[in-house]
A = this chain, B = another copy of it.
Amino acid sequence: MTTLTDVTDGATAKGEQTRELILSTALRMFREQGYGKTTMRAIAGEAGVSVGNAYYYFGSKEHLMQAYYDLLVAQHREAVEPILQAEKSFTARMTGVLLAWLEVAAPYHEFAGTFFKTAADPNSPLSPFSEQSAPAREAGIEIFRQVAEGSDLKLPADLRAELPELLWLLEMAVVLFWVHDKSPDLRRTTSLVNRAVPLVDRLLRLTRLPVVRGIATDIVGLIKAVKP
């Protein structure tokens, strides 16, 4: 029986190097000329390998994008740690996490649209809602679980249980907005985050009112019922 670690040592060390070379070359060219104008031939040529070799490591051009996304997620997770250590208020934690995402992703904004394009395709394994993305999605939701749990929020149990997923959805919405944002310095998106998060905070605290809490309970019920 082979173990997962087998693939990372010995004979494949060189392979890993080639993989890295192709990936970093691709990302640099995506950044410099955009996704559409960067051809697989050009990536292979620039990296000094054959096209076939590039396809040996990355099943498609979109898989190179997916690799970039994984990188982004890792960087975000790192950037978020000090914020979660320092801040206590929900607004500060949530705003910090979202702004950290914008900062990490900023260099790739111009061609991020292409990634989002495949993300919207329900048949693509790259979709954030797909089964293949489940691990990455869970990791993303986990961040928002920490955002909520380490904060000063007091919520009814049913809402608290669903909140991380809801906050993750909110992040998806922010990303959607961000992808379409053409304003200088992405001011519209940062403004959206800075103003929307306090509103979410107020909305969540409103669940103390019985009328609002009734609706909140029903919304949670709806979400549960409609999840696949």
Partner-B contacts on A (CB < 8 A) = 113-114, 116-124, 127, 129, 176, 179-180, 182-183, 188, 191-192, 195-196, 199, 202-203, 206, 209, 211-212, 215, 218-219, 222, 225-226, 228
Contact = CB atoms under 8 A, between A and B. Distances in A.
- Copies per complex of this chain: 2
Nearest to A198: B218
A212 to B, nearest CB: 7
A119 B119 CA distance: 11
Contacts of A226: 188, 191-192, 195
A141 to B, nearest CB: 17
Contacts of A199: 215, 218-219, 222
Contacts of A191: 225-226
Contacts of A209: 209, 211
Contacts of A119: 120
| Top 10 A-B pairs, shortest CB-CB distance | A120-B120, A117-B121, A113-B122, A122-B180, A195-B222, A192-B226, A122-B179, A129-B180, A113-B123, A117-B120
B121 A225 contact: no
Contacts of A179: 120, 122
